[in-house]
């Protein structure tokens, strides 16, 4: 892939804490890449280094073929010269300027002619649906509109790279859905590269071409398309971070896998993953990927049933283990105390270090 943005051996320390540990990343032109991870994992620090607000302790960052940050040469292109668009979590829209002046600001700073400024600003406002409020002030507008101002302001000068730092966290759920789509549309239209930072996995999955799941130190756990990250998580951390999960201890008897301490319940599967003797891997499966059948399967008793809307959430006790299962509401309902059988349709295996084990 012809990389557009490259991070090479990037390291950043704050005191004794290594916030970003030897990060290597390549982003293609026009790609929407999400940095996804828990709070404090280093994703925002990475974004700020890309923007030029932080220096690097080690490594370099390139855009195209141009080095914009380098610890070796002690060279850092200042943020105002990087020509990136950036959208912040708290919008960072200037309250003393009208919507129009907010969006026109980068163009005015660049010293364009008035007619050009007028032209480009109007275009940006049109694409973000803000044309009729161009003369209003930010405090008169809603959160979603403020975020659109921030977007319009960043695209008005046609950047090649857009940096978004948790831009939707301060919006209500309905608005978040709307804005996700609008960001995607803008990207299709302008074809800029997006680096998107978030801790919300649903958001990352809905928006990105590629997700980079990070743990503390910005250590990459998985770097892949959303579908693959969800259906084939590389390790236990990723599995647990994305979506709901069951982590079940198992025992192997006569070539069959049983849930630990529940041999009488019946086997889970006879496909046994490779493992060291006496140390079977952990079984991971999603509540939505377990079927409840009236006969057969692994026997258990329903201990809890909670209606969540279009999903019913069950807890099923199998011996000493509690398994969480989610079923669509239109499927037959089980009551608390009912017996049922569990059929596992998708099994994932992780060893004690959290690494994926092939079945």
**Which single residue is written with the structure tokens 């958001």?**
203
Contact 141, 176 (CB under 8 A): no
C-alpha R_g of the chain: 25
Q: Please give the Cα distance from 282 to 19 (Å, whole number).
A: 30
Tell me the CA distances in angstroms from 228 to 68, 219, 242, 313, one per residue in order.
32, 19, 11, 25
Q: Are 11 and 59 in contact (CB under 8 A)?
A: yes
Residue 4 vs 146, nearer CB to another protein: 146
CB-based contacts of 335, cutoff 8 Å, min separation 6: 302, 305
What backbone phi and psi angles, to 5 degrees, belong to 162?
Answer: -120, 130
Residue selected from 18, 28, 94, 118 as contacting another protein according to rule CB under 8 A: 94
| 8 Å CB contact between 91 and 102 | no
Q: Is 138 in the site for another protein (CB under 8 A)?
A: yes
Which helix (H) or strand (E) segment holds residue 344: the answer is strand 339-344
- With respect to another protein, which residue has the nearer C-beta, 203 or 215? 203
17 or 202: CB nearest another protein: 202
Nearer to another protein, 253 or 307 (CB): 307
Q: Residues in contact with another protein, total (CB under 8 A)?
A: 60
Q: Which residues 20-79 are close enough to bind another protein by CB under 8 A?
A: 51-53, 78-79
Q: How far is the CB of 198 from another protein (least distance, A)?
A: 14
**How far apart are alpha carbons 158 and 165 in whole angstroms?**
19
Taking the least distance from each CB to another protein, the nearer of 86 and 265 is 86
Residue 95 binding another protein, by CB under 8 A: yes
Q: Rule CB under 8 A: is residue 326 a binding residue for another protein?
A: yes
Considering only the stretches 19-27, 202-210, 216-224, 259-267, report the one whose residues sit in contact with another protein under the rule CB under 8 A.
202-210
**CA–CA dist 256, 273 (Å, integer):** 10
Nearer to another protein, 231 or 357 (CB): 231
Q: Does 206 bind another protein (CB under 8 A)?
A: yes
Coil vs helix vs strand at 262: coil
Stretch that binds another protein, among 11-19, 55-63, 266-274, 285-293 (CB under 8 A): 285-293
Q: Per CB under 8 A, does 173 bind another protein?
A: no
Least Å distance between CB 197 and another protein?
14
Our finding on whether 330 is near another protein (CB under 8 A) is yes
Is there a contact between 131 and 158 (Cβ–Cβ < 8 Å)? no
Nearer to another protein, 222 or 258 (CB): 222
Residues 6+ apart with CB under 8 A from 234: 221, 222, 224, 356
Interface residues with another protein (CB under 8 A) are: 51-53, 78-86, 88-90, 92-96, 105-106, 109-110, 137-139, 150, 153-154, 157, 163, 181, 201-202, 205-206, 226-227, 230-231, 242-244, 286, 288-289, 304, 306-310, 326, 328-330, 333, 345-346
């Amino acid at each position: 892939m012809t990389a557009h943005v490259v991070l090479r051996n990037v390291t950043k320390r704050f005191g004794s804490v290594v916030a970003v540990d030897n990060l290597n990343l390549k982003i293609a032109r026009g790609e929407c890449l999400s940095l996804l991870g828990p709070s404090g994992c280093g994703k925002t620090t990475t974004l700020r280094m890309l923007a030029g607000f932080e220096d690097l302790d080690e490594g370099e960052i390139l855009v195209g073929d141009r080095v914009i940050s380098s610890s070796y040469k002690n060279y850092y292109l200042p943020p105002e010269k990087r020509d990136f668009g950036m959208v912040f979590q708290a919008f960072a829209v200037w309250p003393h300027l009208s919507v129009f002046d907010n969006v026109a600001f980068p163009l005015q700073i660049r010293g364009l002619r008035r007619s050009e400024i007028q032209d480009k600003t109007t275009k940006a406002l049109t694409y973000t649906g803000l044309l009729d409020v161009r003369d209003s002030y930010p405090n008169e507008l809603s959160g979603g509109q403020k975020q659109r101002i921030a977007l319009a302001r960043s695209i008005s000068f046609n950047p090649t790279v857009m940096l978004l730092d948790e831009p939707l966290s301060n919006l209500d759920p309905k608005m978040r859905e709307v804005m996700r789509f609008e960001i995607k549309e803008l990207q299709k239209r302008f074809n800029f590269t997006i680096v998107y930072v978030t801790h919300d996995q649903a958001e990352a999955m809905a928006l990105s071409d590629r997700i980079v799941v990070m743990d503390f130190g910005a250590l990459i756990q998985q770097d892949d398309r959303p579908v693959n990250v969800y259906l084939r998580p590389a390790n236990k951390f990723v599995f647990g971070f994305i979506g709901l999960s069951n982590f079940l201890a198992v025992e192997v008897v006569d070539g069959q896998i049983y849930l630990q301490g529940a041999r009488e319940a019946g086997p889970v599967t006879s496909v046994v993953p490779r493992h060291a003797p006496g140390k079977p891997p952990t079984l991971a499966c999603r509540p939505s990927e377990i079927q409840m059948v009236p006969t057969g399967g692994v026997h258990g008793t329903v201990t809890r049933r909670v209606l969540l809307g279009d999903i019913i959430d069950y807890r099923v006790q199998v011996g000493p283990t509690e398994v969480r299962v989610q079923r669509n509401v239109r499927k037959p309902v089980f009551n608390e105390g009912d017996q049922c059988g569990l059929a596992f349709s998708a099994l994932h295996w992780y060893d004690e270090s959290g690494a994926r084990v092939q079945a």
